[in-house]
Every structure is written in structure tokens, then in C-alpha cells.
Structure 1
Amino acid sequence: MKFSIFILLILAELCSTYKVLVFNPAFGASHSNFLGKISDILIDAGHEVTMFIPVFVDGKKHLVGSKKVEKIVRLDQDPRVYQMHKEGATEELMRKKIWTMSSDISSMLGFVGNFSKSAAYLTEHMFQQTELLEQLRQEKFDLGITESLLLGAFALFDEIGIKSVINADSTLYMSGIKNALGEPAAIAYYPGLFSPVNDKMDFLGRIKNLFGYQFGMWFSTLKYDAEVAAFPKSYKGPREWKKQLDRVAFNFVNSNQYIDYASPTLPKTVFVGGMQVNTKKSGKATLSKEWDDVLGKQKTNVLVSFGSNAFSSDMPDKFKSSFLEVFASMPDTTFIWKYEEENATLADHLPNVKLTTWMPQNDILADDRLTLFITHGGLGSSVELAYQGKPAVVIPLMADQPRNAHMLTRHGGALQLDKELLEKPEEIRKAIQTVLTNPDYKKNAERLAKILEDQPQKPKDVVLKHCDFAVQFGALETLNSEGRHLNTFQYYSLDIALAFIAVLLIVLFVLHLIIKFVFRQLKRIFLSPKKKLD
């Protein structure tokens, strides 16, 4: 009897597992890590995950984002993209320019054209791999997961017969997918992805926010249209990018409602920010002896990291000198500095500075001995420090980082510093000392971490349950908003406003005529007798 029950349980477990294809282009660490974490959650739940990694950026071709995925299918970079990036020295140039270029959206204008062309080349390259596509088609995947960075991923899922698809953006949200789903942009009070202002916007702030949203739409439209043009003639699916995107079962965004600004959302939008963070309480954030010893040297420890795209080793020498001067002026503080040059010697004269090309950032942030985090404000780092309850000095460099910075500072646990001040060591020191000496920063950071710890729905559970639901039911038509079919005038009821104004003008004009007619009649009645008497 017991044996029969055991067999039934095993069969039930086998029946509940499903096959997932994760389209994870080698583009950037934050993107790969996000999709890799979703893959890990599914694998831990017993599901079979295959990761398809088309190389988009050659310098990132090693990225996987997961240590648990065993079945990986790679596609080498398209030769045209490789040549284009090589001739433009795109990666190297971006790493150096990021420190001095404007942090607002205008700095990305020159990037859009090349990105769109590269995306089109990648899409065309993928569809040319007929043998590979057939192999993937034979796998009969139950679910496809990717992010809206590349439209070609959705067309590929359609081509190989995947019916249930989830979009999973490693950013807060992208304008293209938001527009395709018919979700309100709320530009009057909800800061867009590239917004330099918070939710308390004056007239100029709303203009900046509108410009940022429209830039996102322009970027998405230009890129997606280029990819659609690259679809082969044999492809039978929709050739309108909005129809490709609005078929998703759910739209995962790397946002957390308890960190981000309040926003109007649709049922398809699911907040999963924080699913990738292991806190000390979970027991999974542990340090090796090397890092344990580093944090044990002094009572005050500061972590300095500018992420995976901005290298400290590429910052201007005057910026490096500023940081070194600050470190030297605080000998009782240990500074762990992510510096991407092997065997660098620029800080050899400072015993309180630990240079490293890599460190277990999340695990260090989780340690009680870490006092302060100096960060660029990338979304991954922002979510990690929020969950770990660490005060921070945020120095945004570009793209969405200014928005992440003011998103964090409003909680009271972080201070924002303009990168233009990095050549002034006194300003860096002032920012550090302000956060270290004011207990409110630590108190507010720990309060936010407590909120996230006690939030009603854990992001990991949210991911798994929505994936299960998507496999079972697919994309429910009842979750779709009719707003996605409306034009701008209809969506914002501008047509109603114009009709009301037109009716009002007609009424006023008729009233004008009536009053004019009455006045004439009165004039005729009262003035005519007088003329007769004369």
C-alpha cells in the first residue's frame, strides 16, 4: 500500500514538471543574471530548463547567469555584428566615456542606431539556423521566457511552436512592452525608466519625464521595426511588433512595489524584484575566509563598486586620485574597491584599501560588518542593498541609474552624489561622512529591509506560481486590455475633450448669434419710435 502511494506521488511529480526554453542573449551581466535566476527558481522546483544564448556582445559571450542550468545552446555572434562592434570599439569606448558623458538620456542617442542594426542582424542570423530551429522545435517546450530587449526572441518562440510565453525584463519596465500591453504610462506622476526626476514633478519635470518615455518608445519602435524587417519570408507569424508582444501570458518586471514608486498596472504585469537576493536570514549569504578576514580588520567597512559595465580601472585619473585621497584620509576604515585591473598597484601604499577584480557583492552586503555601500545605482545593486538594509552613497552614471538613485533616496537610506563631483575629494568625503555619522540613514535602510522581509508575497514564489499558471492556461484573453488597440487620442480621451470643446464653441457661437439677434431687436424697438418723433 505504501509502495503504491509512493509510486503515485512520483508520477504526480513527473506530470507536474514541464520544459522551459529561456532565451538569454549575451548582452550584459544584469540581463543574464536576471534570466539566470528565473531559470534557477524553475530548476529548484523540478522543471527542465534549456538556455539558448545567442551572442549579442562578443565581450559578454561567457555570460550564463546561472550555475544550475546544464543544457545550454549557444549561437555564435553574427560576423556583421562582430565587425561593427570591433570597428567602433563599442565596448571599450562606452566603458571609458561613461565616466564623463552626460548622465541624462541625450547621451544614449548615438547608441540607438547601431543597437537597432545589431538587433536586426541577430534576428536574421537566428532564423538562418534552420537545423538548430528544428532541434528546438522537436523539444516541444511548454514555456518560453525572454525579455523584450530583442523582438526576435518572441518570433523564434512562435516559429518553434511555443504557445505560452513570459516576458521578463531585467529593468523596471520598457516603454515598448508597456505600450503594447496598453498599460498607462502615467507620465504626470510616475517617473519613467530614464527619468531624472522623482514623482513630485513640476511643469519642467513632467516635460523631462515625457521626453524620457518618448525616447524609450522611439528606441523600441526603431529597434523592433528593424527586427521585423529581418524576419524571413517563410515566417508566418505577425509582422507587427505590438502583436508579437501583447501575446505574452505575463510581463515580469524587475521592480518591487515596496521600493519603487506607486504606479497603475495591468494584471499581466508582475513584480518580481528581489527574487535574486539571498539575505543573511535565509542562510545562503555566507563569506569565504578571505572576505571574512577583510571585514574583520576594522569596525568600519565600505564597499565601492560601479557594476559590470563601468570599470573603475577606466575612470579618469583625476577621479582615481580623488578616491585614493579620500581613502588615505580615513585610515580607520577598510575600503573594498572593485577595480578591474589584475595585480593593480595604485593603492599599494594604503593598507586600508582592498582592490579586487571581483567580489561576492550580495554576500558582503548581507554581512553586519559592512557599514556603507558606494554604488552606481544599477538596478541589481539597488535591489540588493535595499534587501540587505545597507545605507549607501549612490553615484549614477547613465541610463536608468539616475532614476534608481532618487528611487532609493526617497526611502531615507541613501544619499545621491553627482558624478561631476568625483574630481573633488572633499565632496566624496563629505558624502561618505554624512551617511556614516547620521544614524537616520542606517535606521531608514534597515526599516526598508524589514518591509521587504515581511512583504506578503515573496518574489520567488510569485515567479514560480505565475510560470505554473502560464503553462497551465497560456495567455488569457480576459487579462488583455482593450487600451492597447486605441490610438493616442482615444487612449487619453483627447477625442472626447476635443468633441466637448467643439460642442462648447458651437453653443457659444449660437448664443452669440442669439444675443446679437436679441440686441438688434431691442435696438429696433427702442430706437425706432424716437426716430419717428424726430
Structure 2
Amino acid sequence: MRLLLHIILLGSVTPFKFLAYSPQLAKSHVNFLGKISDVLIEAGHEVVILSPLLDSSLGFAGSKKARVIEVPQCTEARAYEEFMQNSNAANAWTKGDSLQAFFEWGNLTYSWVAQCNATIAHPGLLESLREEKFDVAFAEMIDFCAPGLFHLLGIEKWVITDSLAINDAHFFYTHTPSNPAYVPTMMGGSMGEEMSFSERFDNLLTFCFSKWFNEYFFPVYDEMFRTHDREIPSVEELFGTNSLVFTNSEPLVDFPRPSSARMIDIGGIVTSTGHKQMDADRISEGIPNLVETTWAPQSDLLHDPRISAFITHCGQGSITEAIDAGVPLIVVPIAYDQLRNAQQVKRNGHGIMLEKTELENPEKLRNAVKEVLENPSYHEKALKIKLMLEDRPFAMKEIFIRNMEFLAKYGPLRQLGHYGRKLNFFQYYLIDVIAAVLGVALVILIIAFFLVISVVRLLKRILGIKKVKAD
């Protein structure tokens, strides 16, 4: 019966054609774009994945169902691949605060710009893509190639997707107000929503630096794009033309934050993030109750009723899989958004967080494992979150599919963009209005002050005259 209903629904859907821009830059990002592409394909639509090889060692575009167009790696992009394979992994355990990551990634941005240029200039590519006549395009904004590429292809209906729970840049792209006083930034380090003065200062600094970091590279992309089209709008202007932003955030789990009509949460739409073969380290030698493997079906293992807890680095994919299975956690965040994810686990009470430096003390890890295994509250809260997500009013896949279909029919959805993006800094934060009100209030106070002085002087004069007459 369900199969028959599925066939009937597919038959009633007008198929649309989607373009996914998904450079091969990291396994988790590629898998997420591939999985949501599969969601659209399963709903009866066609998806083409444009997949430039930033890191050729990945060797997979994230989907076996979509049609994939790979673009060869350019010479400059080799530096990015070497970073991902060597220094990035080697330094993960010794990195300082997350601001350090901005500088590391900043040096790699030029590799992304070069690969973007090579993609646009690839012989016959733009012409063949234009002939496809795509209804909607989507991409993750790790690099800024997509807005310019979609413009060159003449695709007006496009959306931003993100494999992360929340990217600070989402607030900039949509001009949604955010408050660093209680919303932890993606790269803000190990802090939750309740922050001390110094943590709020650090969070604000990271938020401002994130905005500056994004805007710093806009001109670099602008210069490159204008070698292909002199009249192309700036990257900043093009960002304002996106219709929707899909975040891999689950409101029932993530930190509460401001939002806008253009930001749609689809956290949990992907509950299995593929696999990556690891090198054998032989750490299990001599330990009888430890199984070491270069790969394991993580999602399947987490759903095994014999699993009592899960120790993880707190990547977004691992957290999503653990929540879906209702398994309590011991989280040891290493870098980047993992620190923020770990604070979510701590806030929701379904796991214990350890700093990576605490692993030097075996007793702390032993105590954390013992606490999670022996205290039933962690399992109870993990199970409650699992049941809450299963009982949501709307499935995340349905939300994603219906919004994409709606955009294909009626987009671009310009009416969702608020006028605030056209205001300057003083207008946006009402500084001009506040200044005017304070100015008027100050003038009134000054006038009132001088009126009081004048009245006092007048009264003194009158009283002085009466006193003279009385004498």
C-alpha cells in the first residue's frame, strides 16, 4: 500500500531540474550535498552535481543517483589538498583558539578562487550547463564561487545549503540580526549560551572577525569574475539574490537564535554521512576488549541496542547519527564547529563534554565513561530527544522538498528579503534614531534647566522687591 501511494505521489509531481554546485573539498560537506541531492531525486526530480576537484583524493561526489560533472583540479588547488592531507590533521590536537583557523583557511582561499576560475573557464562547460535549463541551483557557501557561477549561467532561483548547524555567515547573507551576547558563534570556541564577560567579548570578537573574513575575500572573487563578465554584480550583491538558506540545524537541539523567513532548518535530514577509510594505527594491540577497525558502519552500530555510549569528536554528522539512535555521548571536540556542537550536547544533558587536553589524564576519561554508564539521566534524555525528533509535526525531508518545489514554481522569492539589507550601519541599528531622540531629550533638559534657573532668579527678584518695600 505504501509503495503504491509512493508511486502515485511521484506520478503527480512535476519533475524539476536542479543544479548542485559541490566542490570536493571535505568528505562531510560533499556527503551532505550528495544526500540532499538524493532526497530530491527520490522525490522524482533530476539533479546534476557540478563537482570541481579541490581535493582529488576524495574521489566521490557524494551521490550515486545524481548525474555528476567533474572538473579537473587546477595547479593552485593542489596546495589545498596537501593542507587537508598533512598539516590540517597533524595540527588538529595542538591548535589554539578557533581564530587561528581563520588565518589558516584564509591562505587557502586563493586556491578556491583559482579552482573557481578554472571551473568557469573549462572548455564548453558553461555552454553545456546553460543548455540544461535548470529550474533551481543550490550550493554550500564554503567558498564564494556559486553566486557568480549561477549568475553566469543565468540561474535566478538559487539557495544556500549548509552541512553545519549554523554558519555565522548565514546572518550576513540574509541580514538576519544576531546577538553574540547569547548566541555562540560557529568558530567561537568552547562556550555555551550563558557566557561570562570575557566569553561574550571573545564571542563578539569572533563574530566581527567572521564578518570581516568573509567580506575581505569578496573583492578577490569580484576581480576573478569580472575577467569573465565585466558587468557582473559584486559577490556581496549576488548574495542578496538568494531565495532561501537551508541550515543543518535542529531547533529542538541547537541553541535558540534569531531567524528570518529565508532561513529554514532541516537538521536531521541526513542521518548517515557515508564512510571514510582510515589508516590502521595498531593502538589496540595487547588490549583484549578493544576492537580497532579502519572503517565501521557507524549509524548501524549506534542503533544496536547493546551500545551504551558513544565517544566522539563531535562532528555534526556524528552528533546527528547519535541523536537519531538515542545514544548518550562523551564528546571530545577537536576544532572548528565541534566546540559549539559539544556545548549543545552539554546544554541538552544527553552527554558529557571533555576538553581534548583532558585526555592526558586517563582518570578524567574513565570518570566520564563511568558517569554516563551509571547515571540513567543521560540515556533518558538521549531517548527523549530521539522520540521528540521522531514525533515532529513535519519531516525535514518534506520541508526541504516542498520548499525547493515551491521555489522552482514561483521563485525567485524576492519578497522574503527584508529592506534591512539596504540600510547602512547607523540606520540598521537605529543609531541615527537613538541619537536624534537623545539629542531632543538633551535639548529639552537644557531648556528645562535654563527655565528653572530663570524662574528661580525671577522669584528671587520678586521676593527681594517685596522685602525692600516691607522694610
TM above 0.5, yes or no, is yes
**Is the 2:248–2:266 contact (alpha carbons within 8 Å) kept by the matching residues of 1?**
yes
Q: 2:39 aligns with which of 38, 41, 52?
A: 41
Shift of the alpha carbon at 1:109?
Answer: 3.5
Identical columns (%): 32
Which residue pairs with 2:65 in the alignment? 68
Shift of the alpha carbon at 1:465?
Answer: 0.9
Matched, 1:81 2:77: yes
User: Equivalences for 1:64-213 in 2 at 5 Å?
Assistant: 64-69=61-66, 71-83=67-79, 86=82, 89=83, 91-102=85-96, 104-195=97-188, 196-213=190-207
SS of the equivalent of 1:126 reads: helix
Shift of the alpha carbon at 1:237?
Answer: 6.0
Instruction: Give the Cα–Cα distance (whole angstroms) in 2 for the partners of residues 171 and 186 of structure 1.
Output: 19
Amino acid at match of 2:249: S
Instruction: Give the Cα–Cα distance (whole angstroms) in 2 for the partners of residues 249 and 397 of structure 1.
Output: 34
Shift of the alpha carbon at 1:248?
Answer: 1.8
Instruction: Give the Cα–Cα distance (whole angstroms) in 1 for the partners of residues 76 and 289 of structure 2.
Output: 47
Instruction: Give the Cα–Cα distance (whole angstroms) in 2 for the partners of residues 277 and 83 of structure 1.
Output: 32
Q: 1:148 to 1:202 in 2, by over 3 A?
A: same
SS of the equivalent of 2:311 reads: strand
User: Equivalences for 1:310-459 in 2 at 5 Å?
Assistant: 340-342=278-280, 344-459=281-396
Shift of the alpha carbon at 1:368?
Answer: 1.3
Amino acid at match of 1:45: A
Deviations 1:345-390 (A, max 9, x none): 3322112111112111111112211111111111111111111110
Deviates more, 1:257-266 or 1:225-234: 225-234
Which residue pairs with 1:277 in the alignment? 271
Which residue pairs with 1:291 in the alignment? none
SS of the equivalent of 1:521 reads: helix
Q: 1:229 aligns with which of 223, 245, 248?
A: 223
Instruction: Give the Cα–Cα distance (whole angstroms) in 2 for the partners of residues 108 and 194 of structure 1.
Output: 8
SS of the equivalent of 2:76 reads: helix
Shift of the alpha carbon at 1:530?
Answer: 7.1
**Is the 1:112–1:219 contact (alpha carbons within 8 Å) kept by the matching residues of 2?**
no
Deviations 1:417-473 (A, max 9, x none): 011111111111111111111111111101100001111111111111111111111
Instruction: Give the Cα–Cα distance (whole angstroms) in 2 for the partners of residues 504 and 163 of structure 1.
Output: 48
**Is the 2:331–2:353 contact (alpha carbons within 8 Å) kept by the matching residues of 1?**
yes
SS of the equivalent of 2:284 reads: coil
SS of the equivalent of 1:429 reads: helix
Amino acid at match of 2:279: E
Matched, 1:253 2:239: no
Amino acid at match of 1:194: M
Deviations 1:118-166 (A, max 9, x none): 2322222222224111111111111211112222112111211223212
**Is the 1:249–1:475 contact (alpha carbons within 8 Å) kept by the matching residues of 2?**
yes
**Is the 1:124–1:232 contact (alpha carbons within 8 Å) kept by the matching residues of 2?**
no
Instruction: Give the Cα–Cα distance (whole angstroms) in 2 for the partners of residues 444 and 484 of structure 1.
Output: 40
SS of the equivalent of 2:291 reads: strand
**Is the 2:13–2:44 contact (alpha carbons within 8 Å) kept by the matching residues of 1?**
no
**Is the 1:148–1:174 contact (alpha carbons within 8 Å) kept by the matching residues of 2?**
no
Deviations 1:69-111 (A, max 9, x none): 2x2111122212314764xx45411111110212x32221321
Q: 1:48 to 1:85 in 2, by over 3 A?
A: closer
Amino acid at match of 1:34: F
Shift of the alpha carbon at 1:269?
Answer: 1.0
Amino acid at match of 1:79: T
Q: 1:471 to 1:419 in 2, by over 3 A?
A: same
SS of the equivalent of 1:73 reads: strand
Deviations 1:183-236 (A, max 9, x none): 121323222222332223343333232223222212221233321221134426
Instruction: Give the Cα–Cα distance (whole angstroms) in 1 for the partners of residues 231 and 369 of structure 2.
Output: 55
Instruction: Give the Cα–Cα distance (whole angstroms) in 2 for the partners of residues 83 and 369 of structure 1.
Output: 44
Q: 2:258 aligns with which of 255, 264, 274?
A: 264
Which residue pairs with 2:23 in the alignment? 25
Q: 1:66 to 1:90 in 2, by over 3 A?
A: closer
Matched, 1:521 2:468: no
Number of aligned residue pairs: give it: 464
Shift of the alpha carbon at 1:520?
Answer: 3.1
**Is the 1:182–1:482 contact (alpha carbons within 8 Å) kept by the matching residues of 2?**
no
Deviates more, 1:441-450 or 1:479-488: 479-488
Instruction: Give the Cα–Cα distance (whole angstroms) in 1 for the partners of residues 270 and 158 of structure 2.
Output: 21
**Which sections of structure 2, spanning at least 5 residues, go unmatched?**
1-6
Shift of the alpha carbon at 1:173?
Answer: 2.7
TM-score by length of 1: 0.81
Which residue pairs with 1:3 in the alignment? none
Deviates more, 1:235-244 or 1:132-141: 235-244
Matched, 1:496 2:433: yes
Amino acid at match of 2:100: S
Deviates more, 1:432-441 or 1:116-125: 116-125
How large is the RMSD of aligned CA atoms in angstroms?
2.7
**Which sections of structure 1, spanning at least 5 residues, go unmatched?**
1-8, 280-284, 286-306, 309-337
Deviations 1:390-426 (A, max 9, x none): 0000111111111111112222111000111111111
